[in-house]
Structure 1
Amino acid sequence: MDQPIATPLTAEQVDRMTLWWRAANYLSVGQIYLLANPLLREPLRMEHVKPRLLGHWGTTPGLNFIYLHLNRIIRDRDLTVLFIAGPGHGAPGVVASTWLEGTYSETYPEVSRDGEGMYRLFRQFSFPGGIPSHAAPDTPGSIHEGGELGYSLSHAYGAVLDNPDLIAACVVGDGEAETGPLATSWHGNKFLNPAQDGAVLPILHLNGYKIANPTVLARIPPADLHALMTGCGYDPIEVAGSDPAVMHQALAAAMDRAFDAIRRIQQQARSGDGKLLPRWPMIILRSPKGWSGPKTVDGKPAEGNWRAHQVPFTMEKPEHLGLLEDWLRSYRPEELFDEAGRPIAAITGLAPVGGKRMSAIPQSNGGLLMRPLRMPDYQDYALDVPEPGGVKGESTRVMGAFLRDIMKCNAETRNFRVFAPDENNSNRLNDILEVTNRAWDAETVPNDDHLAPDGRVMEILSEHTCQGWLEGYLLTGRHGLFSCYEAFIHIVDSMVNQHAKWLKSSRAIPWRRPIASLNYLLTSHVWRQDHNGFSHQDPGFIDHVVNKKADVARVYLPPDANTLLWVTDHCLRSWDRINVIVAGKQPEPQWLDMESAIKHCTQGIGIWPWASNDQNTQPDVVMACAGDVPTLEVLAAVDLIRHLLPNLKVRVVNVVDLMTLQPKSQHPHGLTEEDFDALFTTDKPVIFAYHGYPMLIHRLVYKRTNHKNFHVRGFMEEGTTTTPFDMVVRNRLDRFHLVADVIDRVPGLSARAVYVKQAMRDKLIEHEQYIVRVGADMPEVADWRWPARG
């Protein structure tokens, strides 16, 4: 084992650091257990103990030990370090350290750094009206809650991109290390450019156990673990033991070695003398689970055992009260805090000063640093659409040109990146590569395409890692966009949950500043995955996001390139949102010129007069659509109706902003009842062609006056490898089914239009026979165009 043998600390330093560690551990135990008597100035009684014991002890003393040693490094070297606690349930320790260094009391003056403040610190933890048990937005210095494990290291790498002076010290718990997202995120070092980015110091904290089981990495042979980390491109520095005095020297030596290596790598790269893919340091720290806690409880092992994971013992047995008091007094609080309950100077003097404290660096409250993007005028990229449907275009390719110039405009400030799981070009965003490359610091060979260490396109075939990188980038004050195949964005469903909760909680915390929105472009969507088949056909991410709080979630379905440009500009200028943009990449008819697109998108929903014939009267039917392919099918259906049922009054309503369908009382973008009724009427049938699952539209409009007359078509889990038009036929979203729906829903029309309905059935049979014989869609479908004016 590569155990450091140096002793960089003086005896006085060891003694003082031990004082801090004892204080942090005491404060951590107090948060979990105590409701009163915080300084044990009187014998402990049951009424001093919380009625519900919540929190995690097992990982906490190790986190306290690491935090303390990082403070030494920061003070000695004048560094800016972001602390990311992968085991976010170690919040008792993180909160304790922020209180010891003063930031917590500065942020929350009522939790003062004295006995009265300690009482409030203990009482609030995991208590109604208090703070969560994880390192949540309430915790100064935190950008990572850790409620769901697996994302710490990707957050760390995202945070240091374009932050050359920042070092993210990321503690990876050994339970967390078993998750898929974490296993992939070790490869973030291949995308880090030491010349312009900061550095990540992973600290793999092995305490041996999860809730009730041993952890994999703690039980494999140390040589195998070393080989694993070496194979991932790191230089592992290993520290192990349980004697605090010995461990202080060992971890201090490991920290010195690691930070020396980081400085050497960065200096070489920034002087133009760096090597390809440097071997970055990382630390493997082995310490007992529940270190310094009770050795045994009820005759069973506690310290160094899975039983220490959460609350080591309850208060159900009378003898546990004495056990708790002995545990707390083992830290000798009378030596750590003065008569007023303030930490003694020997402890507080170990903390960095001011904005160098890990709980006070501005990068941990990224909104303090966020600056608006420099944006070119999106109207300059407009497609010329002389009349609706008169030209075809690839909407996301047009968006790509706009993104290219956003990247160019922000080249000096370096605060914008795009992220994709190997799909930037597939999603037609190729133009971005005209002004930047893909980030890549590993080996290159001839014929590689646009790879360079200073690239600003982040591509790795891991949706989890892309999401984590982008979240870390946004949370430290920058901007970005994540493009993905629609079906596979589900991979990050849980990560979206966590980010939405972070945003929701942050909004209620006055000192948290807004951050740039998390922007998704979902393309290669359900209706044009005919070639890849059923596995690639799923529009359900929209439903997932719509479940989030109304002040966070936004969903946009621009039907063409010009509306997509408006939506892109709007989303990149927003903050504290999760914006989902769904747009196709295939050549499609373009409907609106830029002037019309601006008016339409500003409202988010509206009548398309040029496609409607109900002017100055009530419509017989409203044909509504949301999404590019549903819009195409609705317009093709309306064209058929004009020829086959010329006297029918049809109104076409297109929806760009899905949230407009909700009542104004439920969502800030929702239409008023009056405006909704004006668009959709109070009693006429509404045939709604929707991009996703039909039930979502019913959910959004169920309180509306005319809800009972909404008939929604969308994806019905019918798919295969087939033709583009057959995909909509299989889900009854096609023009022929839509015409039949109109005939069925308009009162009195069914008997008069029986021949038209028969013709629609015939067309569906003709379609099926044609694609089986030819393997492509019928020319009258594939070549259909909206009729030109005049």
Structure 2
Amino acid sequence: MFTDDPVRAAKPATSMPLSEELLWRMDAYWRAANYLTVGQIYLQDNPLLEVPLERRHIKPRLLGHWGTTTGLNFIYVHLNRLIKAHDLDMIYVIGPGHGGPGLVAQAYLEGSYTEVYPDIERDRHGMRRLFRQFSWPYGVPSHVAPETPGSIHEGGELGYSLAHAYGAAFDNPDLIVACIVGDGEAETGALATSWHSNKFLNPARDGAVLPILHLNGYKIANPTLLARITPDELGELFRGYGYEPLFVEGDDPAQVHRQLAAALDKALARIHGIQQAARHATDGQAPARARWPMIVFRTPKGWTGPKVVDGLPVEGTWRAHQVPLKDFDDPAHVRLLEDWLLSYRPHELFDADGRLRPELAELAPTGRRRMGANPHANGGVLLQPLTLPHFRDHAVRLAAPGGLEVESTRVLGRYLREVMRLNAQAGNFRLFGPDETASNRLQDVFEVTSKAWMATIEPVDEHLSPQGRVMEVLSEHLCQGWLEGYLLTGRHGLFSCYEAFIHIIDSMFNQHAKWLKTTRHIPWRAPIASLNYLLSSHVWRQDHNGFSHQDPGFLDHVANKKADVVRIYLPPDANCLLSVADHCLRSRNYVNVIVAGKQPEWQWLDIDAAARHCSTGAGVWTWASTDEGRDPEVVMACAGDVPTLETLAAVTLLREYAPDLRVRVVNVVDLMVLQPPGEHPHALSDVDFDELFTRDKPVIFAFHGYPGLIHRLAYRRHNHDNFHVRGYREEGTTTTPFDMTVMNNLDRYQLALDAILRVPRLSALASDATDRYWATMERHRLYISEHGEDLPEVAQWRWTMG
């Protein structure tokens, strides 16, 4: 149920309507930002137009986007007023990332840019460098990128701004996130879902998000949908999402200044009213869900730019989206650009040395209140380490390999429960997932927290609460965006997801990985907590759901990224999973992918052995090997829980088929150790790699994912030509668990046959072994077709020392 009571109880904002003097100064500050924006797009010299503009002053390649930036600059100026008037802790998340030059201009005007880039001084020389570096080789990109102070959001791909904004606001009670949503961006699925984030924001303990829909009417070549529906329909849409929309529109700057100032004052009063009502409620009383404010800000595309170029309308059309003037071999276009720049009256804005005039400079907040210097936009400087339990305390007690069958992720759930408990007061850890926490066996966390929920709660519901710290919503986009915003503002988290459906956020992962790669080379960007994925309900145990749920390809996608950013872990059992998870939660500036099954599986290593194994990333399992430390005849390698099971079962078969065969079993838990030295920090040395896999013996490698990934990682290693990899080959259906391995030739019988066929000494056994394999396959298929379950010899198999 909604309530408007907080608003009725709120006191009006204490600010007065804009005076004529303040309005003039704010408009001048806006003109200064617009001037710097146009200068960045076009100029490489003559930044103050001290001499008539010529072709040589203009960049040879014109890149960037003009159309959205004046609106972004306009809002920024008004938020500065609000911050100063109310001493607000506020950051600015920009959905229209193409407005990069505007945000650079604003950071430059307030001084935060020069603080992190001292060579960009606040004078004519610095202004020239500011202009020249934009979209210049090895300069700064045209988007609101990691290089931009105050940014937590790379705007190269659209759709994620509002999810990032809400992620930043969770557990940040004093923070207000002003989020500018582009009307083109608003057409994306990720953004459309993000409006529902208000059902998860608890005003008693979280900050606030002020969405501002920047409605300027056009995308790169087409009108935007939200600009072409009636204001009534638009208002109904956002009221349906649970917001109270405030409308600001026009093309007369003075009128729009007054409208926006009034709308922001009203929005801030409403935010404070909602928060005060929630924070002063009777103990134990859950805060009611109120309608949060949002603003619809409608101004022309390319506002204040050229109105007509070569007889065609530009301002207010799609032609203003990128670079309105391009043909500078035409002197008329040079004059148009000069007139455009002079229309901002730069002599009123900057002194003879190119410094912003003091009466304008004082409009900006100071210190950490500047949006370009707010520490929440550089979350690593606020990051506090998690208090983590001793993972060994949650270990599976194992007397011997294969002596116990448990659900690995359920064991991890008990560990995460304690992570939640130990960090509840700090409020800096959340678990994210699309309606799958219990499905993935992590439900023990509900002993100490619930799922965050501000909507209606019915008596039949379980584990829903406004105070919950588990974030569940059936949108992988939203989970990913929330978590990214949470991490980028200095907190920690974990995203649990079905393996096949993590692909939904492939592109979001791309953008975050690129952000991390870039920030590693920006000294003032402090490291943030790693983005941790737990992928369960994986390909080999989705036999009941069928082909649609069977896909391990996210590993290939992740492995494409720079080695200093990504890690991939395939723990074979619960104790290895505990060790890996503890390591990942302690790490910084990585994307860690952990794949672990939720079904009961045999356990192999005690906790001490597991910790040693995970610290090296790969090792020989001597207890499963028969080479007795001598030169093996075949290496049976495995990575992943089901491939490990099938490999060990194959070893027991080989003891029967070829009792004197010298077999070495190698398990890989950290996939990136396979890469050669110099290609990944975790890479095994060539000596250590050869110690495991030999330099000349056949290697039968059972892999969790697509076989080509192992070849890609190890192709430069010695003995790679002897690697024979079995893995998922895009064969699946609704079937039995073991039949999934059979369909993809990863089963124990296939692996045992592979070994016999590749050991020269066993060539005499090859024909009988092949016949036996096909007879077994026929028996297997007949049995599962008749009984609907796997052969007893498979279902009841247990590891024995033989």
Quote how far apart the aligned CAs of 1:758 are. Answer: 2.1
Q: What residue in structure 2 maps to residue 65 of structure 1?
A: 74
Q: Which deviations, in whole Å up to 9, do the C-alpha atoms of 1:178-202 show, x marking residues without a partner?
A: 0000000000000000000000000
Asked if 1:42 is matched to 2:51, the reply is: yes
Q: Aligned equivalents of 1:498 and 1:132: distance in 2? A: 14
Q: Aligned equivalents of 2:176 and 2:27: distance in 1? A: 25
Asked if 1:429 is matched to 2:442, the reply is: yes
Q: What residue in structure 1 maps to residue 675 of structure 2?
A: 662
Q: Structure 2 stretches of 5 or more lacking a match?
A: 1-12
Q: Aligned equivalents of 2:644 and 2:117: distance in 1? A: 52
Q: In the TM superposition, what are the counterparts of 1:559-574 in structure 2 within 5 Å? A: 559-574=572-587
TM-score when normalising by structure 1: 0.98
Q: What residue in structure 1 maps to residue 753 of structure 2?
A: 740
CA contact (8 A) 2:41 2:64 kept: yes
Quote how far apart the aligned CAs of 1:753 are. Answer: 4.3
The one of 410, 419, 428 aligned to 1:406: 419
Q: Choose 422-431 or 312-321, whichever is displaced more.
A: 312-321
Q: Aligned equivalents of 2:310 and 2:761: distance in 1? A: 80
Q: Aligned equivalents of 2:679 and 2:117: distance in 1? A: 32
CA contact (8 A) 2:379 2:528 kept: yes
Asked if 1:146 is matched to 2:155, the reply is: yes
The amino acid of 2:446's aligned partner reads L
CA contact (8 A) 2:17 2:262 kept: yes
CA contact (8 A) 2:534 2:594 kept: yes
Quote how far apart the aligned CAs of 1:757 are. Answer: 3.1
Asked if 1:787 is matched to 2:800, the reply is: yes
Q: In the TM superposition, what are the counterparts of 1:282-681 in structure 2 within 5 Å? A: 282-314=294-326, 315-681=328-694
Quote how far apart the aligned CAs of 1:664 are. Answer: 1.3
The amino acid of 1:313's aligned partner reads L
Q: Which deviations, in whole Å up to 9, do the C-alpha atoms of 1:428-467 show, x marking residues without a partner?
A: 0000010000000011111101111110000000000000
Q: Which deviations, in whole Å up to 9, do the C-alpha atoms of 1:223-252 show, x marking residues without a partner?
A: 111000000000000011000000000000
Q: Aligned equivalents of 1:354 and 1:667: distance in 2? A: 40
Other structure's SS at 2:763 match: helix
Q: What residue in structure 1 maps to residue 723 of structure 2?
A: 710
Q: Aligned equivalents of 1:646 and 1:85: distance in 2? A: 66
Quote how far apart the aligned CAs of 1:762 are. Answer: 1.4
Quote how far apart the aligned CAs of 1:318 are. Answer: 2.5
Quote how far apart the aligned CAs of 1:316 are. Answer: 4.1
Q: Which deviations, in whole Å up to 9, do the C-alpha atoms of 1:518-540 show, x marking residues without a partner?
A: 00000000000000000000000
Q: What residue in structure 2 maps to residue 243 of structure 1?
A: 252
The amino acid of 1:132's aligned partner reads P
Q: What residue in structure 2 maps to residue 95 of structure 1?
A: 104
CA contact (8 A) 2:407 2:574 kept: yes
The one of 11, 20, 36 aligned to 1:11: 20
Give me the CA root mean square deviation.
Answer: 1.1
Q: Structure 1 stretches of 5 or more lacking a match?
A: none
Q: Aligned equivalents of 1:382 and 1:182: distance in 2? A: 41
Q: Aligned equivalents of 2:373 and 2:573: distance in 1? A: 45
Distance 1:7 1:320, change over 3 A: farther
Q: What residue in structure 2 maps to residue 204 of structure 1?
A: 213
The amino acid of 1:669's aligned partner reads H
Runs (4+) off by over 3 Å: none
Q: Which deviations, in whole Å up to 9, do the C-alpha atoms of 1:659-717 show, x marking residues without a partner?
A: 00001111110111111111111110000000000000000110111011000000000
CA contact (8 A) 1:743 1:757 kept: no
Other structure's SS at 2:290 match: coil
CA contact (8 A) 2:387 2:423 kept: yes
Other structure's SS at 2:627 match: coil
Q: What residue in structure 2 maps to residue 276 of structure 1?
A: 288
Quote how far apart the aligned CAs of 1:754 are. Answer: 3.0
Quote how far apart the aligned CAs of 1:755 are. Answer: 2.4
Other structure's SS at 1:238 match: strand
Q: Aligned equivalents of 2:199 and 2:516: distance in 1? A: 30
Q: Which deviations, in whole Å up to 9, do the C-alpha atoms of 1:727-786 show, x marking residues without a partner?
A: 000000000111111121111313234323322221111100000000011111011000
Other structure's SS at 1:610 match: coil
The one of 726, 741, 745 aligned to 1:728: 741
CA contact (8 A) 1:439 1:454 kept: yes
User: How many residues are treated as equivalent by the alignment?
Assistant: 785
Q: What residue in structure 1 maps to residue 186 of structure 2?
A: 177
CA contact (8 A) 2:635 2:698 kept: yes
CA contact (8 A) 1:7 1:249 kept: no
Q: Aligned equivalents of 2:645 and 2:499: distance in 1? A: 19
CA contact (8 A) 2:287 2:466 kept: no
Q: Aligned equivalents of 2:714 and 2:154: distance in 1? A: 35
CA contact (8 A) 1:390 1:788 kept: no
The one of 84, 89, 92 aligned to 1:83: 92
Quote how far apart the aligned CAs of 1:275 are. Answer: 4.7
Other structure's SS at 1:445 match: coil
Other structure's SS at 1:712 match: strand
Q: Aligned equivalents of 1:420 and 1:703: distance in 2? A: 38
Other structure's SS at 1:748 match: helix
Q: What residue in structure 2 maps to residue 20 of structure 1?
A: 29
